[in-house]
Structure 1
Amino acid sequence: MLGAVQLGLLAACVVLFVPMGMAGWHLSRNKMLFFSGLLFITLAVGVHLTPYFPSVSDFVTSVSSIAVVDDRDSCISLLHEIAWEVKPTGVFDPLKNYTVNFSKYWEWKGSNSVAYCEFQKLGKPDVMDLLNGSWVMVAGDSQARFFTLLLLSLVLDSEHMESVKGNLFKRHSNYQAVVDKIGMKLDFIWAPYTTNLTDLVIEFKQNRNYPDVLVMGTGLWDMLHITNASDYGDSLRLLRSSIASLLPISPEFGTDGPVTGSVSVRSPHLFWLGMPTLVNSMLNTEEKRVKMTNLRLVAYNRELEKNMLLQQDGGPFQLLDIGSLSWNCGIRCTDDGMHYDGAVYEAAVHILLNALLIKSHQKL
């Protein structure tokens, strides 16, 4: 029911505007000017009265919120709209690695929708400002190592990067870097199987401490050593259940029951590092060529979709689609059919950074 204040305001509007409208109708000159003025006054009064009508205020607010969310979501969906230019270098040396004979350049496509989102390749000062005071963790296999290397190259100088390359790529080992200048910590965790990732998430929950940005990805080792897509799907389901404990309680994130024991109402930014395009004929061992087929890759990616780990499927992780990035860069961007040129992982890093800008409502 309308309250006394609302009824009084409504009556005032009737008393004020109905006589004006009736008088205006009989004016023979400047009718258009009169009604333009009347419309302006009506709109002005309506704006000032809106706060007194909660339902109207709530509606306006909700419409504004939906517009913001839609813009944000649409930009997130366009982050992988990237065009590649791969061409021979000036000096072609067949004795060197295949990829070094070609230069690679990428940029976001020039469509109107992409231009509206204002994606950008961030320079070192901007990256340092964005990641200031953050704890970033990358967990996974060799793909995750290359991703970590390219991320560190945006916050460290060339002198420090030389030592990083040697330490980061020690076989089957973890790595940690601290950038004192901006108070940033980065951890690489060697976690080739999904069960390793689940154990890591359980450890977060026990310690009640977790990173601000968490990048995860598995699948290649599972394809080579286990070769069972269904088992891979089961492990993804367990990971999804475990990761729910790091997220705020939300009816939008489907679970078998209520989420209990959340570490914090603030959740980490979660990213999933997708598997690359596999060029079977270029894989460097017979075992890989037999087991790591494109048919099996499709089956593994189907399990990822079916178990709803990715946000596009209703899950918690934003995809960093190494598969599409490597496919579009092409076979001239890989030497072994599995690991790709740094430009592919660089593009993935900038997709992550722009996603962080969007999610945190920041602009540089």
Structure 2
Amino acid sequence: MLLGGAAAMQTHAQGSSRSAAQGTSGNQLAVQVNDDRMTLSVAKVPQVYLYGLIDADAAQRVGAMIQSRKIPPNSDIYLNSPGGDLAAGIALGRLFRAGNMTTHLGSPRRTATQPVFPKSSQCVDACAYAYAGGLFRWAPTGSDRFGAQPVAGNASATMTTAYLKDMGVDPQVFGSAPSGEVTWLDADQMRKDGLANNGRLLPTAVYGPANGGTSLTLTQQARDGEHRLILQCRPDGLSITANYAIGADRARQMVARATHSYFEINDKPAADDNHANISTVGSSVVFTQSIPLTQLNQLPSAYLMAAWLADRGGNVRYGFWMEMDPVRNELRNFSNGCQQMAKQNAPAKG
């Protein structure tokens, strides 16, 4: 069992919801906010369900709820809509991004005042553009369906293209305007195209000199906090440090339960001595390990690096992993620089 940055929180908790079914007429987007005790204990944030047709005033109503904090920042937004007003869908997306919200597909549970909802959800047309506004965007699961559709008309196409670029989404994912057809995307395709990130933004890299050697800092913003790997190459060897920023309380709890920590490169231990020192620094779990210089040969082509804490229960590990493709150039530069340093400091033969 893995508990880390990639874990999805899509539990529909039982209990009452504070704002149920605002705007429930058939031609309006309805809103249900689940912020009961059980929801917050499991998901940590309110679950907000937006369902039905996206009408022209939908963004104004949702914006008012955000302004009043009925929908607080970082909320989980669940969408189920056949589309509607394009401008309103884009405005909703911008509200989601401004509030660092996470978008999913999903339908609310039944309440005494609401009908039975279908088990599957769909998001297409204006809804798809609203979904793209989520800072973190979860791919659909089960029988949920996501439809990307281009828009016709120069003005609308210009507006949607600019919006998608602002959201960091490739407009080509939504197809070409001449066809105007809906492209139904599955979860794998959405992740491949960058439309879904499943709670993890692409890592960034900073490479340069540090402390008489070279360093490479890899940083990734994730749903559960900031993940950071710091590789340092010095004349006396190579080390890797993990900084897992998850909040002071959770960091202390995690360290208290951890038996050991370790790093992996391409799903294999980075060192034979598979233990690293663990500590809490502010709101982060921090651990460092020396790794053999021979691992430099793997770095240029590494596809995955991970940092893990083993729980004393034995069946659980906590931590994070990063895909290396987005930082490939910096990884190669670091490896080459470190190899040059190793050669310069190697003892002379004879």
Q: TM-score, normalised by structure 2?
A: 0.28
- The structure richer in helix per residue is 1
Larger RCO of the pair (alpha carbons < 8 Å, separation 6+): 1
Larger Rg, first or second structure (1 or 2): 1
Q: TM-score, normalised by structure 1?
A: 0.27
